[in-house]
Chains A and B, each alone.
Chain A
Amino acid sequence: MNEFVLIMRHEDGKKIASPEQMQEWMKQTMDWIGSIAAQNKFVSGTGLPFDDARVVKSDKTVINGPFGDIKETIGGFITVKAETIEEAVEFAKGCPVLQGEGNSLEIRQIAKNH
């Protein structure tokens, strides 16, 4: 069984959601992860809060937040077990982040160290 990371990318991290909206998204995300975990295919995962983020640039300057220059930003990722990339893609299709127009999921296989 291979492991894949599903990286949730938001088109615009500056969009502010209402607390009710946040709660609803949270629930949907938990249902999505719960469904993967119920198939014993969930490995780990975490959300990445936008607050207090930093970007270090090649000239070592530090800017606040990944927003501004960079249009897309990462909202979180989960690692799943799957036989093939296609199976991992099917998991990704259920992610509620995709409800936001312009958002996307990137699916990457984890390199094996042997």
Chain B
Amino acid sequence: MNQPELIPHLFRTEFRKITTVLCKLFGIEHIEIAEDLASETFLAALETWTYKGIPENPTAWLYTVAKNKARNYIKRNKLFSEKIAVSLIKSQSESQEPEIDLSNQNIEDSQLQMLFAVCHPSLSTESQIGLSLRILCGLGIDEIANAFLSNKETINKRLLRAKEKLRLEKVAIEFPPASEIPARLENVLRTIYLLFNEGYYSETQDTILREDLCLEAMRLAYMLLNNEKTNTTPVNALLSLMCFHASRFPSRKSDNGEIILYQEQDESLWDQELISKGVYYLNQSSRGNLLTKYHLEASIAYWHTIKNDTQKKWGNILQLYNHLLQLEYSPVAALNRTFALSKVKGKRAAILEAEKLQLVNNHYYFTLLGELYNDLVNQKAIENFQKALALAKTQTDKQTISKFLSGLL
């Protein structure tokens, strides 16, 4: 890797590690100091490497500089050294200087503990996602703004509020007690799941960024699996689900950026390696008795990796949606269930069911009705697609619906 590529790459992978380790050392209330020190480290790298060339081991170089900067900061800043450093030194026995441990083990542990901290139940969902992206995924403010189709100021404010909340709540960067892990983990998984969806369904035109968000979500889940305390069956199920979805990344968009619907995707583009990983984690997830929505969604996603329509496939998908809706209702699941029903029991039966849903503000509802009426009562199909078009908000959705309509008119 040459220099222009190397620095952003290192920034993405190392910024979050340095920030997390320092923040773990200083305490969550000093998270901004940790971020600043990490930023300064990269600034130093940029300045030095431009003149002197890239060192043999750039990561080690960054860690050394980060440690020095952290030590200097502690010495220089009187308040900091009196209040924080004293307690640090006390807790670290004889050594006069706080030890800054950038070993792999400590990096891994700190990141996991940080994951629990930023997914603290006291924070709003969007704060949890924002902080995860910033602190655990090392995304820049402008990238986060881009992903959320927002602007830098809004994101900055949101992150500041979130950090303030962590301070106020005195959230500790630590593993929750073993008895609390399953409950706290639920929150962590929900955030990872939303982070993945944010990438998968994001409207941003930046394909690389979208895929990055998904990969980061998968990385966080993978990190949980690497620790035996958090290697639980729901985590395996979630990672399985994400592998199956991500396997279709290469086939989901046409060259000019239009969404290609599942039925029209070229399955030879599906990533078989990710599919087998998905199957592996799905098997791992079935070890216990626990059946979460991630288990059900992963199983649904598994059946979608088989492109051919068979009664067996759709029969299974229908049962899985029946089950999923009992655990947790969502309009998307209700609509997908009805689509599966049309495959098992035919369009007429599905129309009867669809009309009971009455999701009259949801354009997917009318798109589904349009599809169900298509070839049965074309006039009804057109009416429904027109309603869908009027309700659709994003360019992508409008394009998809218009395509259906133009096929009918």
Q: Which of these, B315, B321, B357, B358, contacts A34 with CB under 8 Å?
A: B321
A38, B338: Cβ atoms under 8 Å? Answer: yes
A34 to B322, CA, bound (A): 4
CB neighbors of B among A27-82 (8 A): 27, 30-31, 33-35, 37-40, 42, 45
A45 to B358, CA, bound (A): 24
B319, A38: Cβ atoms under 8 Å? Answer: no
Q: How many residues of B contact A (CB 8 A)?
A: 18
B213 at the interface (CB under 8 A from A): no
The stretch from B73-81, B103-111, B279-287, B323-331 touching chain A is B323-331
In the bound complex, residues from chain A placing their C-beta under 8 Å from that of B341 are 31
A31 to B319, CA, bound (A): 7
B356, A39: Cβ atoms under 8 Å? Answer: yes
Q: Provided the pairs A37-B326, A37-B329 are in contact, do residues A27 and B319 lie with their beta carbons within 8 angstroms?
A: yes
A39, B357: Cβ atoms under 8 Å? Answer: yes
A40, B319: Cβ atoms under 8 Å? Answer: no
In the bound complex, residues from chain B placing their C-beta under 8 Å from that of A35 are 353, 356
In the bound complex, residues from chain A placing their C-beta under 8 Å from that of B315 are 27
A31 to B341, CA, bound (A): 9
A40, B329: Cβ atoms under 8 Å? Answer: yes
A30 to B341, CA, bound (A): 12
CB neighbors of A among B345-402 (8 A): 353, 356-358
Nearest Cβ in chain A — how far from B344, in angstroms? 9
B337 at the interface (CB under 8 A from A): yes
A27 to B315, CA, bound (A): 9
Nearest Cβ in chain A — how far from B52, in angstroms? 63
B322 — nearest CB in chain A belongs to which residue? A34
A27 — nearest CB in chain B belongs to which residue? B319
B322, A40: Cβ atoms under 8 Å? Answer: no
Q: Provided the pairs A35-B356, A38-B353, A42-B326 are in contact, do residues A30 and B338 lie with their beta carbons within 8 angstroms?
A: no
In the bound complex, residues from chain B placing their C-beta under 8 Å from that of A40 are 329, 334
Nearest Cβ in chain A — how far from B214, in angstroms? 28
B139 at the interface (CB under 8 A from A): no
In the bound complex, residues from chain A placing their C-beta under 8 Å from that of B21 are none
B interface vs A, CB < 8 Å?
A: 315, 318-319, 321-323, 325-326, 329, 333-334, 337-338, 341, 353, 356-358
Closest 5 CB pairs of A and B: A34-B322, A37-B325, A38-B334, A40-B329, A30-B322
Taking A34-B318, A34-B319 as known contacts, 5 extra A-B pairs with beta carbons closer than 8 A to each other, sorted by chain A number, are A31-B322, A38-B334, A38-B353, A39-B357, A42-B326
